[in-house]
């Protein structure tokens, strides 16, 4: 699962968590929207409960755990002020909405950046630092 690889690389990078979270979100949403298929089916709980999709369900669970770890690290460092589990669910919801928009042809360009900005603006301990976080995130994106 490339998304799991991307979040793993974001976790492994040195430096503040907020730019790593922003870079991962921006990169991941852009990558999902570039796929030639609609990923929403990969998040259907009923489908993932079938034995045939047990591997996908396990990967999705690991992805969510990694997302919570990255957010929790940001909370521990004082960069972020949010509940890691809630943020993880919010990220999933925003990602699925972006995928839905794309499937209808309504996703505007730059949706990955918009999702990353929205999430970070909501969870930053100092929301005014978003511009600095975006600047620090930009050189991290190619590493993910």
Q: Summarize pLDDT for 48-87 with one digit per residue, the tens.
A: 788 888 888 888 899 999 999 999 999 999 999 999 999 9
Q: pLDDT tier at 23 (50, 70, 90 boundaries)?
A: very high
pTM for the whole structure = 0.90
Rounded CA separation 68/75 (Å): 10
Structural domain boundaries of the chain? 2-143
CATH of region 2-143: 1.10.357.10
Residues 6+ apart with CB under 8 A from 74: 16, 17, 18, 21, 80, 123
């Amino acid at each position: 699962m490339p998304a799991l690889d991307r979040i793993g690389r974001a976790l492994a990078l040195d430096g503040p968590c907020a730019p790593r979270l922003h870079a991962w979100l921006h990169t991941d949403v852009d990558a999902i929207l570039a796929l030639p298929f609609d990923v929403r089916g990969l998040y259907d709980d009923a489908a993932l409960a079938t034995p045939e999709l047990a591997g996908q369900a396990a990967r999705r669970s690991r992805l969510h755990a990694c997302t919570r770890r990255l957010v929790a690290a940001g909370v521990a460092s004082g960069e972020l002020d949010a509940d890691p589990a809630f943020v993880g669910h919010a990220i999933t919801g925003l990602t699925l909405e972006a995928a839905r928009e794309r499937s209808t042809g309504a996703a505007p360009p730059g949706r990955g950046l918009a999702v990353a900005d929205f999430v970070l603006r909501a969870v930053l301990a100092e929301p005014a630092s978003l511009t600095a976080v975006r600047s620090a995130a930009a050189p991290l994106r190619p590493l993910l």
